[in-house]
Amino acid sequence: MRLMNTHATHIPFMKMHGLGNDFVVIDSRGRDSLMTEELARAMGDRHRGVGYDQLAEITDADDADIHLTFWNSDGSQAGACGNATRCVAQHVMSESGAKGVRIRTARGLLEARMTPGGPSVNMGLPQTHWQEVPLAQDVDTRALPIEGAPHAVGMGNPHAVFFVDNAEAVDLPMRGAAVEHDPLFPEATNVEFVSKLGENKLRMRVWERGAGITLACGSGACATLVAAHAQGITGAKAEIVLDGGSLFIEQRDDGVWMTGATAHVFDGQWRLT
């Protein structure tokens, strides 16, 4: 659904989701972007707008098939969004018939492929140095000086991964909101609470920066696998069970690959005037 008229009064959009992690997708290829903080907030309002966890805008790219920009429902931008990347990759590959797509994001150049388990995307190498996450000071990223000693991982956006006995028992609204804005994270952070279900199988609940509780978080699942593998809790490949379903994450030499289902829900138009 591309909008070619630069004087258009309506913006076509798609509603998509990956395991219930829901997105508005706007295809702006062939025209100037119309996205602003105000528009992101208006469309993100679940009562007066469309509602979404993140918004992904597709634009043209010189060195890739497409460029993606991500917005949170509070009007802020997100550096990475794994499930939205997979949703858009599914759309673009279905549109073109290609088996792969190269996507330019703030995270870098990402590669996506179609697999029997759904679209799979390489989210890049994890960022494990304190300045890369980023953190406000030089501390041990595997055990931050925060109650619960979370493991910090950057996946194009910051994550604080807590390993707990029972992720279901955590007061996610209270703990997630508090950690999101901890002074140790100058750009705020996503927050994951994780418990072990079995060999190479983890339960994860997530509080997303700028969005709150969501049913799934792709970059969070990647960060969780990286932290779990580093601490010997899992191997380099694991199933991450989220509220909306399972993602399959594998840490390879070329980056962290994420695979799972996506869905196109409906198409719509947003009136600008």
Which CATH number covers residue 173?
Answer: 3.10.310.10
My answer on whether 159 and 179 are in the same domain is yes
The confidence score (pLDDT) of residue 79 equals 82
Tokens in use for 267? 């198409």
Residue 146 lies in a domain: no
Q: Dihedral angle at the C-alpha atoms of 135, 52, 173, 120, nearest 10 degrees?
A: -60
In angstroms, what is the C-alpha Rg of the chain? 18
Question: Under DSSP, is residue 172 helix (H, G, I), strand (E, B) or coil?
Answer: helix
Task: For residue range 113-137, list pLDDT tens digits in order.
Answer: 999 999 999 999 999 999 999 999 9
My answer on whether 69 and 156 are in the same domain is no
My answer on whether 172 and 243 are in the same domain is yes
Rounded to an integer, what distance in angstroms lies between the CA atom of residue 141 and that of residue 124? Answer: 19
My answer on whether 107 and 171 are in the same domain is no
Rounded to an integer, what distance in angstroms lies between the CA atom of residue 54 and that of residue 52? Answer: 5
My answer on whether 164 and 72 are in the same domain is no
Residue 141 lies in a domain: no
Active-site residue set = 81, 217
My answer on whether 176 and 247 are in the same domain is yes
How large is the average pLDDT for residues 241-269?
97
Residue 162 has pLDDT above 80, yes or no: yes
Residue 137 lies in a domain: no
Question: Under DSSP, is residue 38 helix (H, G, I), strand (E, B) or coil?
Answer: helix
Banded pLDDT at 249 (limits 50, 70, 90): very high
Banded pLDDT at 34 (limits 50, 70, 90): confident
Residue 88 lies in a domain: yes
My answer on whether 107 and 22 are in the same domain is yes
Instruction: Determine phi and psi for 177, rounding to 5 degrees.
Output: -65, -35
**Domain span at residue 111?**
10-120+262-271
Number of domains in the chain: 2
Rounded to an integer, what distance in angstroms lies between the CA atom of residue 155 and that of residue 190? Answer: 11
My answer on whether 27 and 112 are in the same domain is yes
Residue 130 lies in a domain: no
Rounded to an integer, what distance in angstroms lies between the CA atom of residue 1 and that of residue 25? Answer: 9
CA-closest candidate to residue 1, choices 86, 11, 109, 157: 11
The confidence score (pLDDT) of residue 163 equals 98
Q: Which residue has the tokens 């055990």?
A: 143
How large is the average pLDDT for residues 233-246?
98
Residue 1 has pLDDT above 80, yes or no: no
Residue pair 224/217 in contact (Cβ under 8 Å)? The answer is no
Banded pLDDT at 8 (limits 50, 70, 90): low
My answer on whether 46 and 27 are in the same domain is yes
My answer on whether 115 and 158 are in the same domain is no
CA-closest candidate to residue 218, choices 83, 108, 85, 86: 83
The confidence score (pLDDT) of residue 6 equals 45
Residue 28 lies in a domain: yes
Tokens in use for 238? 């694991």
Size (the chain), residues: 273
My answer on whether 164 and 246 are in the same domain is yes
pTM of the predicted protein model = 0.90
My answer on whether 246 and 175 are in the same domain is yes
